Amino acid sequence: MPDHDSDSLLNRQTKRRRVDIGVKRTVGSTASSATAATTDNIARAKAAIFSAMNSLSSHSHHGSDNDSMECSVVQPHGGPGVMSANDSESKSNVLRKLLKRANSYEDAMMPFPGTTIISQLLKNNIAKNGGGPERGERGDRVETGFPGSGLSNASSDAPQEDACSNSSQDSTPQECLSPFGRPPGLATFDIERLNDEHLRAKRARVENIIRGMSHSPSVVVPAASRHERDHDMDGERDLELDCPPPQSQQQAPSSPRGGEVCSSSSRENKRKQRLPQQQQQSFTQLVCQRKEQKQEERRQLKLQLEDMQKQLRQLQEKFFQIYDSTDDSEHTDLHNDIGNMSEDSPGRSDTGGDDRGGDDLRSDNEMADLDPGHFLDRARALLQEQALLANSEKPRRDGLGRNKGQVGPGSSMHAEGKQLAETLKQELNSAMTQVVDTVVKVFAKPPCPTPQQAFPPLSIPPERFPAAVNGDNPNFHTANQRLQCFGDVIIPNPLDSFASMSGIPGTTNDQTEALPLVVRKTPSEHHHQSSAVGAHGGNHHPVLHPSSLSASMGFSPPSFRHPFPLPLMGYPFQTPIGPPTAYPGKDRTSPDSMDLPRETTSLRTKMSSGHHLGHHHRSCSPAHPGSTAESLSLSLIKSECSDLQDMADISPYSGSNIQEGLSPNHLKKAKLMFFYTRYPSSNMLKMFFSDVKFNRCITSQLIKWFSNFREFYYIQMEKFARQAINDGVTGAEELSVSRDCELFRALNMHYNKANDFEVPDRFLEVAEITLREFFNAIVAGKDVDPSWKKAIYKVICKLDSEVPEIFKSPNCLQELLHE
């Protein structure tokens, strides 16, 4: 007979043994299932957004998405004109990708057909700027002298980047001057106009922020890759974090195209393999010297993103044009900005895009600080300008160009259908842009308590953003800082964070964007769940509850143009790197009242754990098909999304007292219930915790509680059974469980610590039976069988008794304990 004393030994033996007693599984929760079903769409959208956001936060550059995201902020004013034909094509492809991605947000969306538009725009731009020195091939692209390019062209940046990288992998930052950094004097034409100090300052700030963001993971791209045509696609170059390899991954662009100049194929393979480890390596990387190279790469990526962003902007503007065509007559002062750009190229009639680039840049920067209205105004101005140009010049072939003709309403518009299509496309683009901006804003706005912290000089190569010096935020946030920011700001006080994030007083496009989707979803939920609509208001945590949030924010749903779901809300959860410091949970005062945070906390914990560190994958990209990291991330994201969704769900219980989480009182109640039932079904739990808004999270938490209760219970039983055997007890009959016995005291201490509840006699009986079962099993030597407890569990699970109705009352604790 095995030694009875060694509980642990036995436990070990059974370790990992499946001890599922096979208790009937109650299919549970209608509520949960319902939620799950509804979630899919949203979950998908969320996942997409998450990935997009992650791309910003994480350094991994996978898909073009990242590029675009970053670009939105960084983008200097680049005009597409700088781009070469090849570039334009690649960019159009990139845009396509982006659009597809955007489509993912809305299922209905079709793949963006408008590549032609983009390409045309690009061509136009090229035509305009064609004369510019910068124009040459990638290699040539060094914008030797295009004055305007310095400020306005994102594409121009890329060349610079390349040059820099080529010159020195060390990343001699200084060598590469960012467009902004260039001496104003160089830019003869545009710069003057563009030089609006205000704008510059803002831009610098944004750039700083971005730099800081990008910096943390420290990714540098070797210049070489830059030359590839694909640079657009490459955008994503992996962040190869590993320093060791001498090659340090030239970062051949991960893009499937493999346009890399260097022998890319082998590298790509390597990269793919490495991807999973990127996060971990990222830390190591900090130590590595290669970091610099990566930074460069990153910069390059940024440039690419910028280009794409510009294009998106252009499309957006087009949309505005169409949208506002009737109002074109009115000009805005903003016109000047556009005008600057426009002058660059004579032929740019429709190219407004070029200008756009500049505007866009500003808009990006401004968007962080300014209101959307400004953007619209500019768009209008641009339209006007274009109209003027159109008059002077012959109409453009470009489909887009026609649109601009809008000056006279309907003059250029050949087909309304076309317009509609265009509009839709642009809408899509704008939506994407908005999302990007929103994300950027989130990062950009330093809600963090310690804005002062500056990045280590090393981490921040000044090269690219010399202007940053002027920036408001010379300080960058480290990843951790960002996390803290989120934790502090967003979760605890979402409203505040939002407000802080958007410097925009009146119109908060960004914020609004996020909400609509959520809002949308809620209604559907409402349908499902009878009329709980009104209920949710009171108890929901502001952060998670879209409706309340929007209401508090003062947003009007109709105003939202973009259906995208709460990027902001999701954001904090997915902050990549850090742990989780994120959620200090500081503000939680009363557990009961603030239940939701509990969920949040748990979610955060999940996020923070292990694999998450990094970036999440982007579902779109085929480039990294099966990396483990991605898989993990995906599953995690998925699960997180589900959780978020669940949280967003409206409670089926219309009661005003419904809570979003489980409180200590609920735990106490559950413990008391354990005296009656050891194996409650999920449905039972729902009935007895009707004051809780059930979702998968809550359900599993409750189940887990009971699982833990059982665990403790059985451990005690086994322990005492073995003790009895050691004490010389020979027969189970000798064993009994009374209120005075040690076993009961132990159990009571655990489940009824305050001893303010009278344990039902039935529980004593069950405990006695259980003890005897253990005793007999051990005596019989059954405990050698790893699953020997299973039989006992089966017996015990049948001994559940009915839980008194009083436990169904939310106030049962008071009622029970006061008696």
573 counts as binding DNA under rule CB under 7 A:
no
Q: What residues contact 486, with CB distance under 8 A and at least 6 apart?
A: 442, 497, 571, 572, 575, 582
Q: Are 80 and 107 in contact (CB under 8 A)?
A: no
Residues 694-713 binding DNA (CB under 7 A) are 696, 699-701, 703-705, 707-711
Which residue lies nearer to DNA by CB, 39 or 251? 39
349-383: burial string, b at 16+ Cβ within 10 Å, e else: bbbbbbbbbbbbbbbbbbbbbbbbebbbbbbbbbb
2 counts as binding DNA under rule CB under 7 A:
no
Shortest Cβ distance from residue 610 to DNA (Å)? 6
Which residue lies nearer to DNA by CB, 450 or 609? 609
Shortest Cβ distance from residue 139 to DNA (Å)? 47
The stretch among 11-19, 49-57, 450-458, 496-504 that binds DNA (CB under 7 A) is 11-19
Task: Among 591, 797, 801, 804, indicate the residue that binds DNA (CB under 7 A).
Answer: 797
33 counts as binding DNA under rule CB under 7 A:
yes
Of 488, 497, 442, 670, nearest to 597 (Cα)? 488
The stretch among 188-196, 268-276, 521-529, 678-686 that binds DNA (CB under 7 A) is 678-686
Which residue lies nearer to DNA by CB, 411 or 631? 631
688 counts as binding DNA under rule CB under 7 A:
no
Q: Are 403 and 419 in contact (CB under 8 A)?
A: yes
Shortest Cβ distance from residue 630 to DNA (Å)? 16
The stretch among 48-56, 84-92, 228-236, 603-611 that binds DNA (CB under 7 A) is 603-611
Task: Among 2, 3, 27, 113, indicate the residue that binds DNA (CB under 7 A).
Answer: 27
Q: Are 145 and 458 in contact (CB under 8 A)?
A: no
Q: Are 90 and 231 in contact (CB under 8 A)?
A: yes
**Between the CA of residue 600 and those of 134, 544, 573, 574, 662, what are the distances in Å?**
51, 9, 8, 12, 12
- Please tell me what DSSP assigns to residue 782: G
Shortest Cβ distance from residue 665 to DNA (Å)? 11
Of 732, 740, 739, nearest to 769 (Cα)? 732
The stretch among 62-70, 184-192, 729-737, 789-797 that binds DNA (CB under 7 A) is 789-797
Neighbours of 269 (CB within 10 A): 10
156 counts as binding DNA under rule CB under 7 A:
no
131 counts as binding DNA under rule CB under 7 A:
no
Shortest Cβ distance from residue 273 to DNA (Å)? 21
Q: What is the CA radius of gyration of the chain?
A: 31
- Please tell me what DSSP assigns to residue 208: H
Query: Is 343 buried (19+), middle (13-18) or exposed (0-12) by CB count in 10 A?
Result: middle
605 counts as binding DNA under rule CB under 7 A:
yes
Which residue lies nearer to DNA by CB, 14 or 481? 14
675 counts as binding DNA under rule CB under 7 A:
no
Neighbours of 201 (CB within 10 A): 16
**Between the CA of residue 757 and those of 208, 216, 415, 812, what are the distances in Å?**
61, 54, 77, 11
Task: Among 1, 2, 3, 26, indicate the residue that binds DNA (CB under 7 A).
Answer: 26
Here's the x/- map for DNA, 633-672, by CB under 7 A: it reads as -----------------------------x----x---x-
14 counts as binding DNA under rule CB under 7 A:
yes
The stretch among 26-34, 88-96, 254-262, 361-369 that binds DNA (CB under 7 A) is 26-34
Neighbours of 665 (CB within 10 A): 18
C-alpha 791, offset from chain centre? 46
Rounded Cα distance, 453 and 481, in Å: 9
Rounded Cα distance, 232 and 91, in Å: 6
606 counts as binding DNA under rule CB under 7 A:
yes
Query: Length of the chain, please?
Result: 819
116 counts as binding DNA under rule CB under 7 A:
no
Q: Are 341 and 356 in contact (CB under 8 A)?
A: yes
Task: Among 30, 34, 36, 192, indicate the residue that binds DNA (CB under 7 A).
Answer: 36
276 counts as binding DNA under rule CB under 7 A:
no
Task: Among 2, 22, 139, 245, indicate the residue that binds DNA (CB under 7 A).
Answer: 22
714 counts as binding DNA under rule CB under 7 A:
yes
689 counts as binding DNA under rule CB under 7 A:
no
Of 588, 566, 591, nearest to 645 (Cα)? 566
28 counts as binding DNA under rule CB under 7 A:
yes
801 counts as binding DNA under rule CB under 7 A:
no
Helices (H) and strands (E) in the chain, counts: 34, 0
Which residue lies nearer to DNA by CB, 21 or 389? 21
Of 440, 317, 312, 314, nearest to 378 (Cα)? 317
16 counts as binding DNA under rule CB under 7 A:
yes
Please report the beta strands in 661-817, taking only residues with DSSP state E, as ranges in sequence order.
none
The stretch among 54-62, 163-171, 485-493, 674-682 that binds DNA (CB under 7 A) is 674-682
Here's the x/- map for DNA, 183-202, by CB under 7 A: it reads as --------------------
Helix (H, G, I), strand (E, B) or coil at 692: strand
Q: Are 240 and 234 in contact (CB under 8 A)?
A: no
15 counts as binding DNA under rule CB under 7 A:
yes
Here's the x/- map for DNA, 608-627, by CB under 7 A: it reads as -xx-----------------
681 counts as binding DNA under rule CB under 7 A:
yes
Rounded Cα distance, 501 and 524, in Å: 29
Which residue lies nearer to DNA by CB, 534 or 626? 626
**Between the CA of residue 299 and those of 74, 486, 784, what are the distances in Å?**
10, 25, 63
Which residue lies nearer to DNA by CB, 208 or 716? 716
Task: Among 247, 500, 602, 654, indicate the residue that binds DNA (CB under 7 A).
Answer: 602
Q: What residues contact 30, with CB distance under 8 A and at least 6 apart?
A: none
Of 661, 649, 546, 689, nearest to 594 (Cα)? 661
- Residue ranges in 372-444 assigned as alpha helix (H): 372-392, 399-404, 416-444
559 counts as binding DNA under rule CB under 7 A:
no
21 counts as binding DNA under rule CB under 7 A:
yes
Q: Under rule CB under 7 A, how many of the chain's residues touch DNA?
A: 48
Listing DSSP states for 87-104 in one string gives HHHHHHHHHHHHHHHHHH
Which residue lies nearer to DNA by CB, 19 or 288? 19
- The residues of the shown chain that bind DNA, judged by CB under 7 A, are 11-12, 14-23, 25-29, 32-33, 36, 601-602, 605-606, 609-610, 662, 667, 671, 679, 681-682, 696, 699-701, 703-705, 707-711, 714, 789, 793, 797
